[in-house]
Amino acid sequence: MALIGPSNNEFFLCLNYLSYLFFKILGVILKFFVGIKCEVMEEEIKNPHVKIAVVIRHHFLRCHITFHLIISHHLLRELLLFRGRRLPRRRIRDSMASKMIRQHDGFDGSSPFGNPLRFIFPKGSHSTSKLISLQSSFDQTFADNLTRLKPGDTCNFPTLSWMRRAIDSLFENHKLVKNLVADLEYPSTLWDEKWIEFFLYDSVKFLDVCIALISEVSRLEQQQILLRYALQLLDFSCPASPEQLQRATGALFDWMQKLDLRSPKLKDAPVFLQSLEGTLHFPKVKNSSKGKVVMRAMYAMKIHMIFVSSVLLLILSGCSKPLVNLQIPNDLPWAKAFDELQALVKTELEKSSIVMPKELLRVDASSRHLHVSTTEVEQMAMESWGWLLFRILLVFLASLGIPFLIEHLCRRGGTKGRTKPALPPSASPFPFLCHLVQHRGSLAGVPILLRRFHSLYGPIFSLRLLPFSKPSIFISDASLAHSALVCHAEVFSDRPPPVEPARFLTARSHDISSANSGPLWLLLRRNLESEILHTSRLRLFAPARQFALRQLLDNLRGQFNGDVVAKETFNPAILSIFSSICFGQKLADTVVSEIESLQAFLLGLFTSFNVFAVFPALTKLLFHKKWKEIISARRRQMEIFLPLIRARQTRKQSISGVDYQYCYVDSLLDLRLPSEGGRGLSDDETVNLCHEFLSGAATTATAMEWTMAELVKRPGLQSNLSVEIESVVRSAGEALEEEDFLRMPYLQALIMESLRRHPPSHFVLPHSVTEDIHFKGFLIPKGAEVHFAVADVNWNEKKWEEPMEFRPERFMAEGGFDLTGNVEIKMMTFGAGIRMCPGYGLAILLLQFLVANLVRELDWKPVEEDRVDLSEKLDFTTVMKNPLRVRVLPRKQTECDNEINV
């Protein structure tokens, strides 16, 4: 399967010439090796197309591939726009050689190429019964996978679900090849390893294409769901309530945020697929019987790669240019299934002039219906002029992509003649200042003090510590938090101006958490989300998780029947995973330990009142020892991180292919800042972003300790989880992974309840408003800090029955739970809105992975019966006042002891 270039005529000219050239070369090879002479008819040489092709035979056809998807209605903006790079001019012979061969020690790189099937089906092949059985099993399974990929309902083709199923089939067949190699006990010689490396070299590149395709399909699925939801709420058949309008606003805003979150690697996919076609040809060398079976599987896998990826790229491009058939030998057992699948897909794609997933077409039809309804708005005499004007503005603003202004414009007409709103109820600063003085600047008791203020002044109040300072607004109600963070997300999206030492430690707000909402923040966040934290990318870091798990289990097994302080084992293991994702390598235990102590010191600066925030020039002199400690810690952090970054930069330039594991530092080294002249990140900024990423290990470790504390305190929960684990366990010694967690609803509910009942932080990072806003009858001035009480939202009695009880069953209701809070906020452990923590997916995955595997292998018991203290104290996170101390035993031994007692 190939993608069409600039025009059909140019493409077929090149195709004719390449076909002519191929048969000429094939004839020479057959004549030399077999003695069979293959002639090309004289009429073909007279073909005018071939004559024109001969004129340009010394230059490869310069082409470019343009990807775009345009939905015609004005409500739906352009969803996809990709432009591939132009290929350089090359001689055809050099281009084909570079695509069809890769240099290896052990064979001549300039050797000619022939029919690849000659090496897959060589003469005189001696195969054992085991090889024949494995080969037949592979062929049959491969054919079955192709058959299942055939669209069931051709009237609704293509669909996003079929696209996802096609990508899943690629992973299934990749796993099939992997299992075949394992069953063959291959490779057995150094030469066999060369063949495996030859295949894996392209497979690694192909994996990047698959990740980009998965990301794009997921993005389209999320967008069409958000648009369908918004359009359903904006249906003119019945008046919409204010709550529905708020939900529609949130859905449209989320849709806008996802428009540009496409993977940058997708633009290189067409060039790779064109080069992948050349790798169907193998160099002429001797091969073993096992190697022949493996090569046959490789050939099948690459055919599947090219076909599926090309079809998906064509669907994403939105065009219906004809597809070029992949010709395969008819004697292959899976040839019939592949030919039927290819013919069916080709027929369906060429039926329409515009190829688009059917789900998006249905959304487009709904939006057209909404547009027609707005043109007939004058005929709706039963509704008030206010509703008519509001809905017309709603459609207009949605078409401009500014849905967050809807509620503001709706309120605008009703505020005339009113007096200017006042600030929220103001609390006296004296109790707060007295607390700071009494506790020497510690913020440990501040949450309790703030809850007391909320009981006096309501769910929203203001506090001004100094007469000349901006007011701080504190919100503890879920509906108010949703209105601020989701409905008015753009206004509440900034961060307060940084002060020392935050200004020094964040490289002047060049990181995701402290940067204001703008191009820099969007670039940094998008890079982290798409390159590292995307679900498909996280699968690549499974070896790092499994390595840390093995170390953690070995550490715990060495302390059987002894007292184990849980966080002393959890913290290094989780930080090891984060550092592997960040730096792309497993760090020594001593390095991890030093990073942990530095992170703890720097993050601990934010748990006390910041004396450097007031008159920093003076306070740096008064507290010069403390300031020197901060500078010394930052310098030591640079000394540790910079060599790792430099080593990564060198490795990236010298190593590629199967030995290269992409990491967060790689994405930072590739990053350019368009708003600052296209420069790269400085060393200080790169170190700071690494520090920010590694800070996530502290909150994850805290959540891990709280979760295990609940399991130790309540053995019934641990037993329920153990039963669920045994019901999905695959094989002994193999760690549970992502696909297993999807079948473990109790584990998911347990993690969610732990995050609700014990949020690692009781407050999200402070927000700042970008302009004066009238919010729920109060005025919040521009630049005011806004704080949201996470714990108060999570423990709201209006949202949860007996919220202080630990009940995982509350999250096992059908339909799942919306953690993002786009529709309604019931818990905000990770925040909400556009400033929601981007690493929540990684945190939940690590918690599920560690909890499930630790409970599977070990039985966790308290050191003293029923003496697990769940009291809290403030560190950088809200940790256990008395760290969890446990005794661990082998799970199987415990089960045997229980049976004996019975």
- Report domain extents, the chain: 58-119+131-358, 519-901
Question: With contact defined as beta carbons under 8 Å apart, do 268 and 84 qualify?
Answer: yes
pLDDT at 286: 62
The contacts of residue 440 (CB under 8 Å, 6+ apart) are none
The amino acid at 303: I
Element (H, E) at 878: strand 878-880
Mean pLDDT value of segment 672-681? 87
Mean pLDDT value of segment 150-177? 78
Feature table: binding site for heme: 837
* 550-562 per-position pLDDT tens digit: 999 999 988 887 7
Query: Higher-confidence residue: 676 or 851?
Result: 851
774-809 burial, b if ≥16 CB within 10 A, otherwise e? ebbebbbeeebbbbbbbbbbbbbeebbeebeebbbe
The contacts of residue 309 (CB under 8 Å, 6+ apart) are 170, 206, 209, 210, 213, 269, 273
Query: Higher-confidence residue: 436 or 172?
Result: 172
The contacts of residue 295 (CB under 8 Å, 6+ apart) are 119, 120, 195, 282, 287
pLDDT at 613: 59
Q: Under CATH, what is the fold of the domain 519-901?
A: Cytochrome p450 (1.10.630)
Tokens linked to 839 = 């690493």
Query: Higher-confidence residue: 357 or 878?
Result: 878
The amino acid at 304: H
Point out which residues pair with 472 in neighbouring strands.
Answer: 463, 785
> Phi and psi at residue 412, in whole multiples of 5°?
-60, -40
Least trusted range by pLDDT, from 7-16, 403-412, 546-555, 773-782: 403-412
The DSSP annotation for 91-135 comes to -HHHHHHHHH----TTS-TT--B--THHHHS-TT----HHHHHHH
How remote is the C-alpha of 459 from its chain's centroid?
35
The contacts of residue 746 (CB under 8 Å, 6+ apart) are 720, 721, 724, 808, 812
pLDDT at 224: 65
For 477, other C-beta atoms within 10 Å of its C-beta total 21
The contacts of residue 787 (CB under 8 Å, 6+ apart) are 472, 473, 474, 475, 763, 764, 766, 767
Feature table: binding site: 837
For 363, other C-beta atoms within 10 Å of its C-beta total 23
Mean pLDDT value of segment 202-215? 69
Structure confidence at residue 69 as a pLDDT band (50, 70, 90):
very low
Q: Give percent of the chain above pLDDT 70.
A: 60
Question: With contact defined as beta carbons under 8 Å apart, do 276 and 206 qualify?
Answer: yes
Mean pLDDT value of segment 150-168? 76
The residue among 606, 630, 610 whose CA lies nearest residue 619 is 610
The amino acid at 275: S
Question: With contact defined as beta carbons under 8 Å apart, do 363 and 228 qualify?
Answer: yes
Least trusted range by pLDDT, from 41-50, 72-81, 399-408, 656-665: 72-81
pLDDT at 716: 92
Least trusted range by pLDDT, from 163-177, 430-444, 549-563, 744-758: 430-444
pLDDT at 473: 92
Structure confidence at residue 110 as a pLDDT band (50, 70, 90):
very low
pLDDT at 269: 57
Structure confidence at residue 615 as a pLDDT band (50, 70, 90):
low
Cis before 501? omega within 30: yes
Question: With contact defined as beta carbons under 8 Å apart, do 255 and 226 qualify?
Answer: yes
* 338-381 per-position pLDDT tens digit: 888 888 888 877 776 556 666 666 555 554 444 334 334 333 33
pLDDT at 820: 85
The contacts of residue 398 (CB under 8 Å, 6+ apart) are 75, 230, 252
What SS3 class is residue 837?
A: coil
* 758-817 per-position pLDDT tens digit: 999 988 888 999 999 999 889 999 989 999 999 999 999 988 999 999 999 999 876 678
Rounded mean pLDDT of the chain?
72
**Angle between helix 289-317 and helix 160-183 axes, rounded to 10 deg:** 170
- Rounded Cα–Cα distance for residues 671 and 527 (Å): 8
Least trusted range by pLDDT, from 311-315, 766-770, 821-825: 311-315
- Rounded Cα–Cα distance for residues 718 and 898 (Å): 15
Rg (Cα) of the chain, in Å, rounded? 31
Q: Is 864 exposed, middle or buried (0-12, 13-18, 19+ CB in 10 A)?
A: exposed
Query: Higher-confidence residue: 799 or 604?
Result: 799
- Reported as half-sphere exposure (CB side, CA atoms, 13 A), residue 417 has a value of 2
The residue among 559, 551, 555, 558 whose CA lies nearest residue 588 is 551
How remote is the C-alpha of 32 from its chain's centroid?
53
The DSSP annotation for 456-525 comes to HH-SEEEE-SSTTSPPEEEE--HHHHHIIIIITTTTT-B-PPP-TTHHHHTTTT-STTTSPTTHHHHHHH
The DSSP annotation for 396-433 comes to HHHHHT-GGGHHHHHHHTT-TTPPPPPPSPEEPSHHHH
pLDDT at 845: 94
> Phi and psi at residue 458, in whole multiples of 5°?
105, -175
* 428-461 per-position pLDDT tens digit: 777 777 766 665 556 667 788 888 888 888 899 9
Query: Higher-confidence residue: 671 or 206?
Result: 671
Question: With contact defined as beta carbons under 8 Å apart, do 441 and 421 qualify?
Answer: no
Q: Is 72 exposed, middle or buried (0-12, 13-18, 19+ CB in 10 A)?
A: exposed
**Of 89-103, 141-155, 551-565, 796-810, highest mean pLDDT:** 796-810
- Reported as half-sphere exposure (CB side, CA atoms, 13 A), residue 814 has a value of 0
> Phi and psi at residue 220, in whole multiples of 5°?
-65, -40
The residue among 47, 384, 314 whose CA lies nearest residue 163 is 314
Element (H, E) at 659: none
